[in-house]
Structure 1
Amino acid sequence: MSSADIFVIGSAGLRTYRTQLATISQNISNAGSENYSRRTTTVSESSMSGAHEILYLPRASFGGSEATGVSRASDPYLDANVRNTGSALANANARLQWVNDIENALSDDDLGIGTSLTKFYSSVDQLAANPADTSLRTNVLYQLEQIVSAFHTSSDGLETVLDGTADSAESSVALLNTYTSQLRDINQALTRSQEGTSNRAQLLDNRDAVLQKISETLNVSISFGGHEEATVTYNGVTIASPTVAGTFAVTQNADGTLALSLDGSAVANPTNGSLGGDFASAAIARERLDSLDALAVQFATDINNWHRQGYTDAGATNVDMLSVGTTAASLSVSLSGIDQIAAASASGTINGNLVAISATRAASDVESQWTELVTTHGNLVSTITSEQAASEARDENARTAREEVSGVDLDMEAADLLRVQQAYQACARVIQTARDITDTILNL
């Protein structure tokens, strides 16, 4: 081995370890960055060449080491697991948000429907004890107006949830369309990229980041090609590939529920991801609003049937207390004044009809149905809260497992940095030694 060989070996080492230092620096600067996978420089022995010229003695030339590429730490199974848990968590988060809003709309506080019903029946009982008292009559009318207001408040709250789920779904779909376009571009770049380069590693990071976002939006199936490009399908239809970028759209149905289309054609509703949570929550809000509408109609019917049997102070009968169409929002008070309260019975008893409110209340199941509605939804909130906590724990565990494989450990990077720096310095000394040998030979 000549001094020239030693010089070549040292120079090759400097280039190799310079590349490693750059890789380690990149790892350190991206420590804690989401969707960044740790890089390592692959080093191999440089090929040895030989001279076979006729006029020269045969000899071998040693090339030292060389950086052959940049590898990216990843585990496809762990990546897929994080996508699955992320999709479930996004779904649970969306559903929990909306069912909590629905619960607020169905609030049974002092101004809620349940409390207002109780206060109304109590006010009628109080008036029955003194049917001529104008303040008590005013209170009956006021409590009736409070019931109407409570129904309107709950109805408005549920309508707000329906509109909110639609707005959220539209925003999610707009982002989803951006993701499919981004993935198509990344896929195309991957088919042209060179294996083992930093650029390819970055493309793979970008690919996984977009796949994570798509999975967190709706339930999809993912497969990979020979160039590690991703093909994403939804219900069997390709929505992203090197040549495809699907376009989704959301429409709100007349009843407030949601419908999804892909490239202009209707497709099945999503069942997972944040979009699946929006769709499921819209259906729940619609169901709760239907129940509320039915309660409002039943309450108006029961109260009107009771009130029509009585007589006002002027002797009028068949007077409705309430007016209602088919929704809680249409409920309103029909009485224009306290003199229209039908307190007397057909027999002439001045409080006879007021006393009969007890039988009407007992026969009506509006209060029990309201309690059942609130309880049923409360149980659903409790269930989804537990699901969200479990999904969050599973997602955290999945991310931790992936981080152990592809994440950056600063302690490890610091140790590698020290090792490579020392190796770099050693290569510099090898070059200096080669120079010293050459100078010594030339000075002989």
Structure 2
Amino acid sequence: MAMINNALSGLLASQTALNTMSQNVANVNVPGYSRQEVQLSARQAGFGVMGGNGVQVTGLRRVTDDFLAVQLWRAESDAGYRSQVSAYLEQMETVLDSQDSSLLPGLNNFFAALHSAAETPQSIAPRQQIIASAGALAQRFNHLAAQLDAQQRRVLDQADAVNSQANSLLAQVAELNDQIKKVGAKGGNTGILEDSRDETLRRLSELVEIRTSRQQDGTVNVSLSLGQPLVLGNQAARIERQDQDISVHFGNQVFPLDGGTGGSLGGLVLHLHQQLQPAREELNRIAADLATRINDQLALGEDLDGQPGRPLFSLEAGDAAGSIRVTEGLRAEELALSGTSAAGPGNNDNLRALLALEDDSYEAFRTLVGELAITSAQWQADAAAARNIRAEAQARRDGVSGVNLDEEAMNMMTYTQHYQANAKVISTADQLFNTLLNMM
């Protein structure tokens, strides 16, 4: 009977191992799945000279490394953060430096029109060309301002989408915590639930940089990198936006967020406050400065009727780039291209003073575009490096926890032989027992 009992325990252990391996093979393509291994131990032998009591399955081990998982989550956060910023910077660079929307062609045409009027400043046609080119330049300012404003709306809309996704994932982590706690308290296998939680945390880490703390009951508390709570047991926070401010709401507590949040959300916040809005403000400053210098110089001259010059540009305070226009109703005759009438009618003294403003008019915009190009290139390089680091972290995690089909096939052959050997022992024991019966 001992032989039969021993062999039967071996059959059951082999069957459990084969079932576990089939589970691994079936889930080879499931994201975040961690392979499982059967843990076996010999049963305690009884008294006397008995050979033993067979083998027993002591548990199923989920093959995972928390350190590698945390490394992957941080790599995901960094990649999401840098990729988000680099993508929007690339869009900004394209808009500001495009031949169709850049200020440089507009400035070129405007000052070319001024140069063309230098020989015959009293002629109407060159003056009309100045007004037309000034209007085209103003439209380029308007277009750039509209493009940056549109990008701001896209950033805020994407932030709302990220918040919604993050809130859904936080609720899933809290629910999985609750299930793991209940199943674990009953001695059940929580491996699949823990895999689901780890995969949910990985997806969450793409959106915000997280820190985790494992509790004795199997649950995991989650917080942001600066300590703001996201999940405590089965309770989840919510991330919400009010205008341009984003904050975490946990119970009655509110924690404001900034660019240090990490992940895609942190990248959006950083780009909005540290790159997009400053660029928009600088564009306003360039428009206001250009309009002011041109208008101030025109005010020092006289038009064809000997009257003081009218402003060429008009704009609204606070949105200079978006509102700059050619002064409504301005006629070509009213351009104050002449100096004082004492210099003779139709002189171009003030026009030459306007042309002296040319070099300074280019410098500010070129500086803005140049700094943006340098910043964008650096973020592009950092994003590419972060994606490589993420791929390496994923490979290291999969090297430990992932399913290797060749390894599983080898193990299946081993346990199949183990199963067959135990079946042979049972068959042998049965033959011995029958022989003994026949002898009686």
Please give the TM-score of this superposition, normalised by the length of structure 2: 0.90
SS in 2 for 1:31: coil
1:269 maps to a residue whose letter is D
Report whether the alignment pairs 1:342 with 2:336: yes
1:414 aligns with 409
The 2-side partners of 1:289 and 1:73 are apart by 51
Match of 1:262 among 243, 246, 249: 249
Q: How does 1:64-143 map to 2 (within 5 A)?
A: 64-131=54-121, 135-143=125-133
Cα gap change, 1:335 to 1:133, in 2 (>3 Å): farther
The CA deviation at 1:118 is: 1.8
Alignment of 1:252 onto 2:247: no
Amino acid in structure 2 at the alignment position of 1:252: D
- Conserved 8 A contact 1:68-1:196: no
- SS of aligned partner of 1:118: helix
Q: Is the alpha carbon distance of 1:111 and 1:247 closer, same or farther for their aligned partners in structure 2, counting shifts above 3 Å? A: closer
Give the match's secondary structure for 2:309. Answer: coil
For residue 242 of structure 1, what is the aligned residue in structure 2? 233
Question: What is the rounded CA distance, in whole Å, between the counterparts of 1:28 and 1:287 in structure 2?
Answer: 53
Instruction: Measure the CA separation in 2 of the matches of 1:198 and 1:126.
Output: 87
2:434 to 432, 435, 439: 439
In structure 2, do the counterparts of structure 1 residues 6 and 134 end up closer, same or farther at CA, with 3 Å as the change threshold?
farther
Residue aligning to 1:231: 221
- The residue matched to 2:288 in structure 1 has which SS? helix
SS at match of 1:223: strand
8 Å CA contact retained: 2:101, 2:144: no
SS of the residue corresponding to residue 235 of structure 2 reads coil
Q: Which residue identity is paired with 1:95? A: V
CA shift for structure 1 position 424: 1.8
Identify the residue that residue 375 of structure 2 maps to in structure 1. Answer: 380
Superposition deviation, residue 48 in structure 1 = 4.3
Q: Secondary structure at the match of 2:236?
A: coil
Asked whether the 8 Å contact 2:41–2:58 carries over to 1, the reply is: yes
2:190 alignment partner, SS class: helix
CA-to-partner distance for each residue in 1:127-165, whole Å, 9 max, x for gaps? Answer: 222345555344322321221111111111111221122
SS at match of 1:297: helix
Q: CA deviation at 1:179?
A: 1.8
* Aligned residue identity for 1:442: L
Per the alignment, residue 359 of structure 1 pairs with 356
Quick check: 1:335–1:341 contact (8 Å CA) kept in 2?
no
- Structure 2 counterpart of 1:317, from 298, 308, 317: 308
Q: Does structure 2 conserve the Cα–Cα contact (< 8 Å) formed by 1:35 and 1:209?
A: yes
| Offset from partner CA, 1:231-284 (integer Å, 9 cap, x none) | 11233343202142111212223xxxx332424624242511111101000011
2:95–2:101 contact (8 Å) kept in structure 1: no
1:193 is paired with a residue whose SS is helix
Deviates more, 1:335-344 or 1:121-130: 335-344
Q: Which moved more, 1:29-38 or 1:258-267?
A: 258-267
> SS where residue 374 of structure 1 aligns?
helix
Q: Which residue of 1 aligns with 2:168?
A: 178
Matched to 1:299, the amino acid is L
SS of 1:310's partner is coil
**Residue in 1 aligned with 2:191?**
201
Distance in 2, Cα, partners of 1:247 & 1:335: 50
What letter is aligned with 2:417? Q
137-146 or 410-419, larger mean C-alpha shift: 137-146
Q: Percent identity?
A: 23
- The 3-state SS of whatever aligns with 1:443 is helix
Give the distance between the partners of 1:237 and 1:105, measured in 2 at CA: 37
Tell me by how many angstroms 1:180 deviates.
1.8
Asked if 1:21 corresponds to 2:18, the answer is: yes
Q: C-alpha separation between the residues in 2 aligned to 1:183 and 1:270? A: 24
Structure 1 residues 318 and 342, CA, compared in 2 at 3 Å: closer, same or farther? closer
Q: Secondary structure at the residue paired with 1:345?
A: coil
Q: Secondary structure at the match of 1:233?
A: strand
Which residue matches 2:204?
214
Matches of 1:441 and 1:196, distance apart in 2: 46
In structure 2, relative to structure 1, the CA distance for the partners of 1:377 and 1:304 (3 Å cut) is same
Counterpart secondary structure, 2:310:
coil
C-alpha distance in 2, partners of 1:133/1:199? Answer: 91
**What's 2:135 paired with?**
145
- The verdict on how the C-alpha distance between 1:421 and 1:340 changes in structure 2, with shifts beyond 3 A counting, is farther
* Structure-2 separation of matches of 1:270 and 1:334: 41
Separation in 2 of the partners of 1:12 and 1:194? 26
1:200 CA drift (Å): 0.6
The Cα shift of 1:322 comes to 0.8
Q: Do the aligned partners of 1:110 and 1:116 also contact (CA within 8 Å) in 2?
A: no
d(CA) in 1 for partners of 2:184, 2:53: 24
User: Which residues of structure 2 form unaligned runs of 5+?
Assistant: none
| Distance in 2 between residues matched to 1:196 and 1:397, nearest whole Å | 37
Give 1:342 shift: 3.2
How big is the alpha-carbon RMSD for the aligned residues of Structure 1 and Structure 2? 2.4
2:114/2:355 contact within 8 Å kept: no
Task: Give me the whole-angstrom Cα distance separating, in 2, the residues matched to 1:174 and 1:232.
Answer: 17
How does the TM-score come out when normalised to structure 1? Answer: 0.89
Q: Which residue of 2 aligns with 1:55?
A: none
Aligned length: 428
Name the stretch that deviates more: 396-405 or 353-362. 353-362
Matched, 1:298 2:289: yes
Corresponding residue of 2:400: 405
How much does 1:356 deviate? 2.7
Separation in 1, partners of 2:423, 2:5: 11
2:165 paired with 1:169: no
2:277 pairs, out of 269, 286, 309, with 286
Letter in 2 for 1:214: L
- Secondary structure of 1:22's aligned partner: helix
267-276 or 406-415, which moves further after superposition?
267-276
Within the alignment, does 1:277 sit opposite 2:272 as a pair?
no
Q: CA offset at residue 339 of structure 1?
A: 4.0
Whole-angstrom CA distance in 2 between matches of 1:114 and 1:20: 72
